Structure 1
Amino acid sequence: MTTKKTAHLISHTHWDREWYMPYEYHHTLLVELMDQLLDTLDRDPEYRYFHLDGQTIIRDDYLQVRPEQQERLDRYIREGRIQFGPWYILQDEFLTSSEANLRNLLVGHQDAKPFGVISKTGYFPDSFGNMGQAPQILQQAGIGNAIFGRGVKPTGFNNAVVDADSYESPYSEMIWRSPDGSEVLGILFANWYCNGMEVPNEPEAAKAYWDKNLAEAEKFASTPHLLFMNGCDHQPIQTDLAEAIRVSSKLYADVEFVHSNFDDYIEAVSQNVPNDLAVIEGELRSQHTDGWGTLVNTASARVYLKQMNQFGQTLLEKAAEPLAAFAQLAGVKEYPHHLFTYAWKTLMQNHPHDSICGCSVDEVHREMVTRFAKSRHTAEMIISQSAKAIAGAVDTQQSKHWGEDSVPFTVFNTSGWNRSGVIDIDLILDKKYFPEGPSPAALASDLETQEFGAYQVVDEHGLVYPAHIQDLGAHFGYELPKDRFRQPYMARKVRVTFLTSDAAALGYQTFALVKKDDAAAGRNVDAVQVNGTVMENGKLIASVESNGSVTVTHKASGKVFAGLNVYENTGDIGNEYVYRQPEGEKALTTEHLKAEISVVEQSPYRAVIQSVLRWDIPAGANERFEYEKRVMVPFTERKAQRMETTVPLVLTTTYTLEAGSDMVKVRTSFNNQAKDHRLRALFPTDLASDVHYADSIFEVAKRSNVPAKEWINPSNAQHQQAFVHVTDGDAGLVVANKGLNEYEVLLDGRNTIAVTLLRASSELGDWGVFETPEAQCIGEQSVEYAIIPQQGDGAESGAYAEAYQFPVPWTAVQAGTLADHSENADATEISLPLSGQWLKWNSEGSTLAFSTLKMSQETGDVIARWFNLGAGSAVLDAEPAFHTVNVYESDVLERRGSELRGTKQEAGGYKIVTRSYQPQTR
């Protein structure tokens, strides 16, 4: 007997907010689509459901133009006819941070809460690969499924099914398992998310349509429930779908055609899946493909966007949120949930895959720069207000080692680990408000004639810290009091640069500039020594070689890493999605160039050596490339080469070694005037290993150096977040970065780590011809990364912690009477100690990594999160320094779970662990 099949038609539109047209072009079409959807729902009760692409932002975008339609739209969401959520936007998972992925889910749930309904569909229709911890994240959010379009097996262009013997799953349904063991039902769009679009309502055409589409769906389905996605990219509503379903039902007696939704479809599939579903583990990165369609090179398209994103995410996650939480716990300033929602939403509007991946037209990415700035400025304002409020409440009279003329300042460590590093802060020695003088110029002159004498940096215990104090002269400034008009002034400033050692994690310490006393006790530091072009501290020796590369010796292990940071340049005749080197081209490198080397800074706490390389590289691809793009020659078939004409590329690199540091910091600046090329930094490890490790979303993913046998792309570039690591089990090399998301471990016999610094391309690619001249990234560029040699396990040795801290900025503000204390005007009765720590945890030698500390908008609890980098269980021992009513286990949606007793908690292998601390109100 033939089993009756059910064809589930799910109406949707995959809505890229911006892509091959500017945002407002797409926005206009969205308004038209939503108008049509509401009219269709009003008119046709048989048009039962519409899936709003898994993202709540569509409602915001529509109502921005059509606020008068809110009641209509919201009614259909409440009724469940429009399926809403669970995400705020459809993000690129690998190019957005761990916490950004969670904020996306959290904000989506917050947006949906007023309606009382939310789609619990783990929707990833067009992500360029899927993060390995997605099942764990979804499970913690109460979502037991994942619907995705990429990462497991290939689909062809225009809905063509492609066969391959190496499919990881024989079905479109599978079990997807995270490293921690969490599982969800995974469903692949094996025939893409448009296999049910434009269903004919004329019998002959419908017969031909369904004969083909039913057969292709049955080819991969493990159950009689077949998925047909009635829509595609920016697809208008099929208003005659009900009639098309009636026609189809008459043609096929053994198929039930239903206008369905994901809830019903997933429930039906779950009840019918066979016992032999394949288990797919961890990351889904399409490794069993030819390697051309993985779109991984979007990680290097428009690197400047990735840098802005990394900086913006870090400011919010690792500075603004913890500082605002500290301020509320101290009772000096309320946590600004509304500002965080605005800042995160603005930032996440840049996180859709066609946006953050840098694979859109130029107008899109220009607008992204503005959004990054808006989010960043909001975060910076929160940081400033929170830090000033706390510093203003610090009782600076507590130290007997500071006199009345001392200038105190407070340094915050929000990185999550105890930390050492060099701090730069501008301090005011004296200031005069405009009414105090006949003119600002006169006030400035008076300030600059004052003699302030010599100062030194002293902590609360009287220890002197090595420091450089630079007189900056008089400068304009202003205060914005909460109870009166702005107060402009002229101020005499100094810039203080000093080394702080072992600053407490999630805490602060107050120092002061005091009049110099040669008899005062100095703090012992692991001073940096410089001998020619060699820098050395107690842990590392860094020798800058004649070609501008650096040799780093790890003293504890004796391991020497030579030839690090040679630059490589190749042509690129691909597009924003895909890197393609011209056939037969030999890579250019700086290995045999002569660098101009100089010592630009030398002090007990920091040394900086600069290398300048003058390099001539091809100006761009030749004329054939322009022709091949214009007539749409596939990038794999292009024959263009680079032109013989060259342009100068001057690479200015600074290598920085700080006292006591485990890393060599690198900053490279250049003015790019070449087109159609890629620039990388090379780090030969000379370590024997078949695998390497890359920081990803809530995990350090273990990846093979050699791709699958089906991989024919000569390039095997991959995604990273904070770092990539090669180790032989004893020695290892970690290369950390700030917003450099693409790397490759080369099959050169040396396991060289190659980090992409720039990729210049000139077209969008994909399905049409879209010129993108601004993707050539012409002009001044600057990139930052760090070299961290290590011994033993990457997590337990502390190397990963160093890499995670590398991009996190220090926050330092002036305290005392000369500082601007307007932010704590309502908390003048509060007196804080000179140093403090809000949350202590067992970071030393642990496989746990700190992720976030913030306040929950729902409960008012302090949310703290860690994740286990290791396969074995770890014990989290975290003790708050603030008074709590209760402590709960929590999840990615910040919900209270079971109550915790004591400070210790077991964290299973690769587990994401969240705690919810209910603070005692004042």
Structure 2
Amino acid sequence: MSKKKAHIISHTHWDREWYLPYEKHHMRLISLVDSLLDKLDAGTEFKSFYMDGQTIILEDYLQVRPEQRERLEKHIKDGRIIIGPWYILQDAFLTSSEANVRNMQVGHHDAKRYGVPAKVGYYPDTFGLTGQTPQLMKQSGINNVFFGRGVKPTGFNNMVSDSGYESSFSELIWEGPDGSKVLGILFANWYSNGNEVPVDEQEAKAYWERKLADAEKYASTGELLFMNGVDHQPVQLDLPEAIETAKKLYPEVEFIHSNFPDYIDAVEQAVDRELSSVRGELRSQRTDGWGTLVNTASARIYLKQMNQKGQALLEKVAEPLASLADLLGKPYPHHTFTYAWKTLMQNHPHDSICGCSVDEVHREMVTRFDKSRHVTETIIDDSKQTIADAVDTTVFSKYGEDPVPLVAFNTSGWDRSGVISVEVDAARLYFRENLGLEETTRRMSSVDLSGRVLVDAEGNVIPCTVEDLGLLFGYDLPDDKFRQPYSCRRVRLTFEAANVPALGLKTFAWVRSSAAASASASAKTSLLAGSRTLENGKLKVEIADNGSFTLTDKQTGRVYRDLGIYENVGDIGNEYMFRQPDGEEALTTRGLKADINVIEDTPYRASVEIVHHWEIPASADEKLDQEQRELIWYPNRKAQRSKELIPFTIRTIVSLSKNGKGVSIETSFNNQAKDHRLRALFPTDLQAAVHNVDSMFEIAKRDTVPAEEWENPSNTQHQQAFVDVSETGAGLTVANLGLNEYEVLRDGRNTIAVTLLRATGELGDWGLFPTPEAQCLGEHTVHMEVIPHNGDGIRSGAYAEAYQFQIPWTAAQTGVHAGSVTPDYAPLAWNGQELAFSSLKVSEESGDLMFRWYNMDSSSAELSFAFKPVNGSYYKSNILEEQGEALQPANDGSLTLPVGPCEIVTVGVSK
């Protein structure tokens, strides 16, 4: 038998912010890196240090110590400080598919400035892992994943329990849904199992006797891994001396100051037995369910909403618009995108986006979300105006001297219809005209808004609601002169844009036309079939006295009842985990009469307002404070809800549009209660043992009934865009905006429960950290869409509809002018029923257009597409946008490409 080898890897796990605000952790980081550089400068006995897999640490350090760049670069190039592959260590379930890709791209890009990025799939403390992680690793040139959670639970103070294994060893084979396989290394004794190695022989003997046995208990080979570091742990500077002590005590073991690449090579060479295979998501499925940290998905939901908006604007609006503008000659702003993405991703570490830090951390996150969004909106404004000003709008010149053209952009990957609102200026007067404020005001106030209608490029009148916003001040910021202030008369136009092509545009104009106005007036229709019934060609919605609604899918004949009831229960847990008080009966609006009123009745949309005047307990009782102070683990708490009741009013707007495939729900409330959870309930009454849920590049299939080891009464889980329950012939999809927690209830009705609010007052984990702002007091508004279908969410288009729900419409006003872009324009045409479109951007490395899709299905598919403006070459790429296999288009320029089951496919198009 070969000699056992103890690989001791120096590292620190660096949460940028958590139980301390960012800057307090930041200052400790400066001291850590200073001491590391001094140690490395002193000699070569201290071999190397792993910088936690995230290049942002380098930015954070050099922000304060820029003069140390040369020293830092030297040790990175010498391989003694190992960096990458990520920009940050993100949460896997609460960050979007493309955010995970950008994280890898930015991490690699930044690491290459210093040296070579480590090909280490590093997830030391991520709260579970998504099923497509192996494929993302393989597409990044990484053949391994190191992780600490998801296969077995961790308990109090990050100590790993011995129950609930899904793998025989700490080494395993992890397979993704597409068949990608990587070597998985589970930190079976946590990522601190080699922390603070003693130099003293007596202490070292006791230490290594225990540590060696723990490692051998789970290792499949004699290559034993010891992680010398943990959260915010300073560098152990005397580690070389400690290793020498260990060598003296255990000559039969080879102790080395190792690194991840060497350890991986050693394990791959040493494995001589079949390893356990784990397939798909790692969510601690085979555990008692109390330590999964899954309810971070509902902690501080306002953060999740801001993140959803920021991600959608960047990846689904700004990037495709900037790509199209690039084709028109406006250079793609790579540097600006990188800044926006980095600012957004600084909110993506698990202790940040999970909402499980102290209040100061999350206040700073709100600022970062705003900053990233402001940059993104600037890119969107510049790009959409470039495109709009290139559209040939001369077709509207026949309507007189003052048509107001506007361009509606569909930046999703599918044709789209939907209601949009656009603010346009009917007239402007710039202050440079020197008319004086009084005359300027008089002229703008007297602008005639009558006799106008909205038309498309073919002259069809589009039903439209006009809201006069009155006299407003505005300004331009030209690139070649000083700011240009003006006074304007602004209106808001609301209408349904029908059949706007994927990644394309459709042009309209608000024009003067008496004939068109007459046609518009005679075309008045309604989607109301009574004061509480909304109906279009596909759906019928009937609202009951208690505010719930019955939804009839006209295409299948299936009827769904009791949708939209609200449920409220107590929560005596923490930011990490929900815990309902023992014996508590849930409160619901089932027996509560609601105020119901029609608030919108137009040819393109009908909306009904539902108001519930409710009362709920003000908080938990006093025992919760006592149990928190005594650090009683949340499953063992006995607190109940307070007897005091306070008002809790919920306002719901249920809307149905003319071409709508689903029912839109907007829910708003002012939360003044503490220690509770609010959910919306959607009974499906469908027979299914599993359900489908949107995750990273995957429609994950999950069991509704958990494994037999599961003890937690709650079985809440993560979602991205939607959750779906289906049976043969019928299905119900519930889409959301930033509501990342759901549960399919075991209530005999397969009810989809979506968490709208979770209010709690402590961080949790290893001590008492009060977080009063996590009670989320104040105004909240959430959005959902309920989409029935024929039982096949992919091929019915229900999932595409749910993805489009994530993406806001974009519009821009322009003038009457000639242009190179037609009024109805779509440069990309593609087909692939099983595929979801994910991304269009321009590669910084090559300048090529990069298109990405993924197969939603577990069977093979085919992608066909053509991109009209480009006559360049096509090639298959990966998530790092590296050029791969050349693809040969047909004579007409179209391309057909086979796509494997659950494959993520990226196609590069040179310009």
Match status 1:841 vs 2:825: no
Q: Label 1:161 to 1:832 Cα distance change in 2 as closer, same or farther (>3 A).
A: closer
Q: Give 1:825's aligned residue.
A: none
SS in 2 for 1:216: helix
Q: Label 1:435 to 1:158 Cα distance change in 2 as closer, same or farther (>3 A).
A: closer
Match status 1:494 vs 2:517: no
Letter of the aligned partner of 2:34 in structure 1? D
Letter of the aligned partner of 1:914 in structure 2? T
Q: Give 2:508's aligned residue.
A: 511
Q: Label 1:215 to 1:526 Cα distance change in 2 as closer, same or farther (>3 A).
A: farther
Give the distance between the partners of 1:248 and 1:721, measured in 2 at CA: 48
Q: Give 2:792's aligned residue.
A: 793
Q: Give 2:867's aligned residue.
A: 880
Letter of the aligned partner of 2:909 in structure 1? Y
Q: Label 1:556 to 1:443 Cα distance change in 2 as closer, same or farther (>3 A).
A: same
Q: 1:318 aligns with which of 309, 312, 316?
A: 316
Give the distance between the partners of 2:117 and 2:284, measured in 1 at CA: 30
Give the distance between the partners of 1:230 and 1:538, measured in 2 at CA: 64
Q: 1:340 aligns with which of 331, 337, 340?
A: 337
User: What does 1:818-897 correspond to in 2, within 5 Å?
Assistant: 831-842=820-831, 846-897=833-884
Give the distance between the partners of 1:600 and 1:696, measured in 2 at CA: 35
C-alpha offsets along residues 501-541 of structure 1, whole Å, 9 cap, x if unaligned? 11000011111111134368779999623411100000000
Q: Give 2:29's aligned residue.
A: 30
C-alpha offsets along residues 542-573 of structure 1, whole Å, 9 cap, x if unaligned? 11211111111000001111101100000000
User: What does 1:730-745 correspond to in 2, within 5 Å?
Assistant: 730-745=729-744
User: What does 1:394-793 correspond to in 2, within 5 Å?
Assistant: 394-399=391-396, 402-518=399-515, 528-793=527-792
Q: Return the TM-score normalized by structure 1.
A: 0.96
Q: Label 1:159 to 1:785 Cα distance change in 2 as closer, same or farther (>3 A).
A: closer
Q: Give 1:54's aligned residue.
A: 53
Give the distance between the partners of 1:526 and 1:456, measured in 2 at CA: 16
Are 1:416 and 1:506, in contact at CA under 8 Å, matched by a contact in 2?
yes
Q: Give 2:379's aligned residue.
A: 382
SS in 2 for 1:277: coil
Mean alpha-carbon deviation: is it higher for 353-362 or for 392-401?
A: 392-401
Are 2:76 and 2:115, in contact at CA under 8 Å, matched by a contact in 1?
no
Q: Give 1:822's aligned residue.
A: none
Give the distance between the partners of 1:847 and 1:708, measured in 2 at CA: 30
C-alpha displacement of 1:435: 3.4
Give the distance between the partners of 2:550 and 2:845, measured in 1 at CA: 51
Give the distance between the partners of 1:308 and 1:452, measured in 2 at CA: 37
Mean alpha-carbon deviation: is it higher for 257-266 or for 783-792?
A: 783-792
SS in 1 for 2:701: strand
C-alpha offsets along residues 190-232 of structure 1, whole Å, 9 cap, x if unaligned? 0000000000011111010000000000000001000000000
Are 1:402 and 1:512, in contact at CA under 8 Å, matched by a contact in 2?
no
Give the distance between the partners of 2:788 and 2:167, measured in 1 at CA: 39
Give the distance between the partners of 1:217 and 1:609, measured in 2 at CA: 62
Q: Give 1:393's aligned residue.
A: 390
SS in 1 for 2:104: helix
> Unaligned stretches of 5+ in structure 2?
890-894
Give the distance between the partners of 1:622 and 1:77, measured in 2 at CA: 55
Letter of the aligned partner of 1:148 in structure 2? F
Are 1:763 and 1:773, in contact at CA under 8 Å, matched by a contact in 2?
yes
Q: Give 1:915's aligned residue.
A: 907
SS in 2 for 1:700: strand
C-alpha offsets along residues 350-393 of structure 1, whole Å, 9 cap, x if unaligned? 00000000000000000000000000000001001100111112
Give the distance between the partners of 1:209 and 1:360, measured in 2 at CA: 32
Q: 1:328 aligns with which of 326, 329, 345?
A: 326
C-alpha offsets along residues 609-645 of structure 1, whole Å, 9 cap, x if unaligned? 0000010000001111111111111111111110100
C-alpha offsets along residues 442-483 of structure 1, whole Å, 9 cap, x if unaligned? 312222223243111111111111111222222111111111
Q: Give 1:369's aligned residue.
A: 366
Match status 1:247 vs 2:245: yes
Give the distance between the partners of 1:155 and 1:452, measured in 2 at CA: 65
Q: Give 1:821's aligned residue.
A: none
Give the distance between the partners of 2:72 and 2:794, measured in 1 at CA: 49
Are 1:155 and 1:190, in contact at CA under 8 Å, matched by a contact in 2?
no
Q: Paired residues, what number?
A: 904
User: What does 1:38-77 correspond to in 2, within 5 Å?
Assistant: 38-77=37-76
SS in 2 for 1:274: coil
Letter of the aligned partner of 2:273 in structure 1? N
Q: Label 1:28 to 1:525 Cα distance change in 2 as closer, same or farther (>3 A).
A: farther
SS in 2 for 1:309: helix
Q: Give 2:256's aligned residue.
A: 258
Give the distance between the partners of 1:217 and 1:530, measured in 2 at CA: 69
Q: Give 2:226's aligned residue.
A: 228
C-alpha offsets along residues 746-766 of structure 1, whole Å, 9 cap, x if unaligned? 110100000000000000000
Letter of the aligned partner of 2:823 in structure 1? L
Mean alpha-carbon deviation: is it higher for 189-198 or for 428-437?
A: 428-437
Are 1:526 and 1:538, in contact at CA under 8 Å, matched by a contact in 2?
no
Q: 1:181 aligns with which of 163, 175, 179?
A: 179
Letter of the aligned partner of 2:165 in structure 1? Y
Q: Label 1:281 to 1:401 Cα distance change in 2 as closer, same or farther (>3 A).
A: farther
Q: Label 1:351 to 1:12 Cα distance change in 2 as closer, same or farther (>3 A).
A: same
Give the distance between the partners of 2:214 and 2:167, measured in 1 at CA: 16
Are 1:526 and 1:537, in contact at CA under 8 Å, matched by a contact in 2?
no
Are 1:527 and 1:660, in contact at CA under 8 Å, matched by a contact in 2?
no
> Unaligned stretches of 5+ in structure 1?
818-827
Are 1:529 and 1:604, in contact at CA under 8 Å, matched by a contact in 2?
no
Mean alpha-carbon deviation: is it higher for 273-282 or for 249-258?
A: 273-282
Give the distance between the partners of 1:648 and 1:276, measured in 2 at CA: 61
Match status 1:353 vs 2:345: no
Are 1:401 and 1:462, in contact at CA under 8 Å, matched by a contact in 2?
no
Mean alpha-carbon deviation: is it higher for 39-48 or for 376-385?
A: 39-48
Letter of the aligned partner of 1:57 in structure 2? I
Give the distance between the partners of 1:692 and 1:583, measured in 2 at CA: 28
SS in 2 for 1:509: strand
C-alpha displacement of 1:883: 1.7
Give the distance between the partners of 2:292 and 2:236, measured in 1 at CA: 31
Are 2:427 and 2:447, in contact at CA under 8 Å, matched by a contact in 1?
no
Are 1:551 and 1:564, in contact at CA under 8 Å, matched by a contact in 2?
yes
Give the distance between the partners of 1:160 and 1:511, measured in 2 at CA: 62
C-alpha displacement of 1:394: 1.8
User: What does 1:187-336 correspond to in 2, within 5 Å?
Assistant: 187-331=185-329, 333-336=330-333
Match status 1:117 vs 2:119: no
Q: Give 2:892's aligned residue.
A: none
Are 1:582 and 1:641, in contact at CA under 8 Å, matched by a contact in 2?
yes
Q: Give 2:128's aligned residue.
A: 129
Give the distance between the partners of 1:675 and 1:61, measured in 2 at CA: 36
Are 2:391 and 2:818, in contact at CA under 8 Å, matched by a contact in 1?
no
Give the distance between the partners of 2:554 and 2:883, measured in 1 at CA: 47
Are 1:525 and 1:605, in contact at CA under 8 Å, matched by a contact in 2?
no
Q: Label 1:795 to 1:358 Cα distance change in 2 as closer, same or farther (>3 A).
A: same
Give the distance between the partners of 2:271 and 2:510, measured in 1 at CA: 70
Are 1:526 and 1:659, in contact at CA under 8 Å, matched by a contact in 2?
no
C-alpha offsets along residues 881-917 of structure 1, whole Å, 9 cap, x if unaligned? 1123211101000111111112110111100010111
C-alpha displacement of 1:399: 4.9
Give the distance between the partners of 2:406 and 2:548, measured in 1 at CA: 38
